Chains A and B, each alone.
Chain A
Amino acid sequence: MSRKILEVDQLRTSFFTHLGEVQAIRGVSFCLNEGESIGIVGESGSGKSVTSLSIMRLLQHPGKVVGGEIRLHGENLLQYTPQQMRKVRGEKIAMIFQDPMTSMNPVYTIGNQIEEMILEHKNLTKQEARERAVEMLGMVGIPSPEQRLKNYPHEFSGGMRQRAMIAMALSCSPQILIADEPTTALDVTIQAQILRLIKKLNEEMNMSTILITHDLGVVADVCQRILVMYGGLIMEEGTRSQIFYHPRHPYTMGLLKSIPKASDQKQRLIPILGTPPDLLHPPAGCPFCSRCSFAMNICREKQPPYFKDADGHRVMCWLLSEEAPYVEAYEKQKGGVRA
């Protein structure tokens, strides 16, 4: 096992709205190893984006981290001053966002924006910064980068803008790249290009990546370890094959069953009934219990702890407790969801 680079410990983030406290993240813990690529999947409102914004300390009012620790190389980022944090962003952790149009400044050229980032963090001259920017644009596969530096964001297509964002994020060689739905706004053929690029950079630069997405197909391709989030909590964590072939949490199973399989026969989809919980009034027990077909009494009353096995697979579900009754339908689904 390689070295831990980032540890998130019992993180809690809330939004203090006029209606009351919305508990977007309710105690999330995970770690990221060096050179590893993890995926966070979940539906909208499950807290996956808020997790990444909390790590970057980019939450805006009324959002606030209310508890827990985020440790980068053992140092708690939550205690950093804004100046120290500025150094971390870009240099140690970089982030790319879903919408490459709104995350770039439309009145500066692409080159300007990449150079600004380099000059901020590195002790380089303008000339050197420009060379570095050309090199980065070339690396992410933008043809004739010297000319392209002089373009404005609107002169780039969606896929190229996302490449330019990646070039900007990587220009100071960060140790961690957080990609928040990097391909959601793009077409499938462009998505394939961007994912191949992220995968290549992850392997070649030994950079750790956190990929946040709602698309299970994307994590199946890119990530080694997967966290499934729901209702502000991590429901299940496991390696790629554990999550896809041996899911234990009813929510993960439900997600996998609700996407169509590539088969010649027309099979009926099995949806997860109901809607996600309202985090303004989070349920006392398991957040998934109102939609879970195996829900027991205890699920409504008490939030389940994590049940772990030796190889790092952890699941927040009472069904894995030793005292839980034997539920045949559940046992049957555990192994054979994809079969």
Chain B
Amino acid sequence: MSGQRLIEAVHLKKYFAKESGFLKKQTQYVKAVDDVSFYIDKKETLGLVGESGCGKSTTGRTLIRLYQPTEGSILYDGVDISHLSTTELMPYRKKMQMIFQDPYASLNARMTVADIIGEPLEIHNLMQGKEKAERIRELLETVGLRASHASRYPHEFSGGQRQRIGIARALAVNPEFIICDEPISALDVSIQAQVVNMLEDLQEQLGLTYLFIAHDLSMVRHISNRVGVMYLGSLVEIADRNELYNHPAHPYTQALLSSIPIADPELTKQKQSIVLEGDVPSPLNPPTGCKFRTRCRYAQQRCAEETPQLVEISPGHCGACHML
């Protein structure tokens, strides 16, 4: 699968300021994304996993400039897009689209399906009138809905169907890169498989590149070529999917993988589970050094003092831990 780089994040940081105290004089920073570097090749799917609040959605949103990065650069096809102005960014906006988690909140309830799917075409001045109607019909069929659905409103559809509308909207401008931000978490098990299969088919047909963000680790394993694991704003490990799932190197990845419930009682009995103690620390006040050390079984003095860097432990497999 190794091909051309499509998009690359280089030392990407996104801090959110939180003002507090008398007259809001104190400013604290939530380091939602803290020095994250990775790349995605063309036609590849990179999965991004982690617990809530680890910064995986912020990473995705910063990558397509829905948030202005605090530091670092984003290379799209070799061009640094991190400091482009809104107008300069327009052609890139057409290439990068997003599918959101909540199919109920991400569709405007007062717009018909045709308006929702047609909006990106209008914004980018791509099509008008008959041509646009034809394109909408085509998109609806691509995602497995009927052309007659175009005049309906979102509330007339089920969760799975709404997610299809969201996918049709993302596909409208013929993007190259799509960020799928928890696209199946709000759906029922039997519907999840329908949507995942469709995403795979579309990737095949249209040559799409995905960043697939999810907390369902078994689904990420299914859909991704490579998988990155995030913890409190840092990328702690990244590797090919089989390498990561079979030989997790970082203690956090090991614990995360061992806590996935497996729908197979025999396997569940066999697997040794590492149950982490405690909660994720507050991102306002993360631990010094390695952020995982407060919950880590192997934590040593050194972990509190030095921040581990992402190092390559085998070809394509990087981890950020002093033990490696």
Q: List 7 A-B contacts (CB under 8 A).
A: A43-B188, A188-B256, A190-B279, A193-B276, A220-B264, A262-B267, A269-B197
Contact A269 B279 (CB under 8 A): no
A220-B264, A221-B261, A259-B218 known; A271 vs B255 contact (CB < 8 Å): no
Chain B's closest residue to A338 (CB) is B264
Neighbouring A residues of B52 by C-beta, 8 Å: 187
B322 within 8 A of A: no
* A241–B160 CA distance with the chains assembled, in angstroms: 31
Within 8 A of A (CB), among B144-175: 158, 160-161
Residue-wise interface mask of A (64-85) relative to B, using a CB-CB cutoff of 8 A (1 in contact, 0 not): 0000000000000000000000
Shortest beta-carbon distance, B215 to chain A, in Å? 7
User: Is the C-beta of B259 less than 8 angstroms from some C-beta in chain A?
Assistant: yes
- A260-B218, A262-B245, A273-B194 in contact; A191/B263 too (CB < 8 A)? no
A281 at the interface (CB under 8 A from B): no
Could you say which of A159, A192, A254, A272 has the most chain B C-beta atoms within 10 Å of its C-beta?
Answer: A192
- Count, chain A residues at interface, CB 8 A: 43
With beta carbons under 8 angstroms apart, the residue of B158, B200, B261 that contacts A217 is: B261
The answer to whether the Cβ of B304 comes within 8 Å of any Cβ in the partner chain is: no
- B224 to A: closest C-beta gap in Å: 10
CB closest chain-A residue, reference B260: A188
User: CB of B275 within 8 A of chain A?
Assistant: yes
- Which chain A residues lie closer than 8 Å to B311 at the CB level? none
Nearest residue, chain A, Cβ from B186: A44
Q: Evaluate whether A191 and B259 lie within 8 angstroms (CB atoms) in the complex, with A43-B190, A269-B197, A270-B193 already known.
A: yes
Taking the closest CB of chain A, its distance from the CB of B270, in whole angstroms, is 12
B binding-site residues for A, Cβ under 8 Å: 51-52, 158, 160-161, 188-194, 196-197, 200, 215, 217-219, 221-222, 242, 245-246, 255-256, 258-265, 267-268, 273, 275-277, 279-280
Q: How far is the CB of A201 from chain B (nearest CB, A)?
A: 15
Given contacts A217-B268, A244-B264, A270-B193, 14 further A-B contacts (CB under 8 A): A159-B279, A187-B215, A188-B217, A216-B263, A217-B218, A217-B262, A221-B262, A240-B265, A259-B263, A260-B221, A260-B222, A268-B197, A271-B191, A271-B192
A279 to chain B, nearest CB (A): 14
A214 on interface, CB distance cutoff 8 Å: yes
With a CB–CB cut-off of 8 A, which chain A residues contact B193? 258-259, 269-272
Closest to B245 in A: A262
The answer on a CB contact under 8 Å between B265 and A244 is yes
Nearest neighbor of B144 in chain A, beta-carbon distance: A273
- Complex contacts, B261 vs chain A, CB 8 Å: 191, 195, 215, 217-218, 220-221
Q: Specify the chain B residue showing the minimal Cβ separation from A141.
A: B277
Contact A43–B189 (Cβ < 8 Å): yes
Complex CA gap A43/B215 in Å reads 19
Distance of A269 Cα from B192 Cα, bound (Å):
10
Query: Are A221 and B268 interface neighbours, CB within 8 A?
Result: yes
Residues A259 and B189 in contact in the complex (CB < 8 Å), given A217-B263, A220-B263: yes
With both beta carbons as reference points, the residue of chain B lying nearest to A196 in the complex is identified as: B275
Would you call A216 and B189 a contact (CB within 8 A)? yes
Question: Does A188 contact B192, Cβ atoms closer than 8 Å?
Answer: no
Chain A, residues 181-193, CB within 8 Å of chain B (1/0): the string is 0000001111111
Output the residue of A187, A196, A266 with the most chain B CB within 10 A: A187
Q: Is B190 a contact partner of A262 (Cβ separation < 8 A)?
A: no
Cβ-defined contact, B242 with A264, below 8 A: yes
Of B189, B200, B280, most buried by chain A (CB within 10 Å of CB) is B189
* Structural contact, B279 and A160, CB atoms closer than 8 A: yes
- Residues of chain A lying within 8 A (CB to CB) of residue B217: 188
The answer, among B158, B160, B192, B245, for a CB contact under 8 Å with A258, is B192
Question: Measured between alpha carbons, how far is A259 from B188 in the docked complex, in Å?
Answer: 11
A189 to B295, CA, bound (A): 11
Residues of A within 8 A of B222 (CB): 260, 266-267, 269
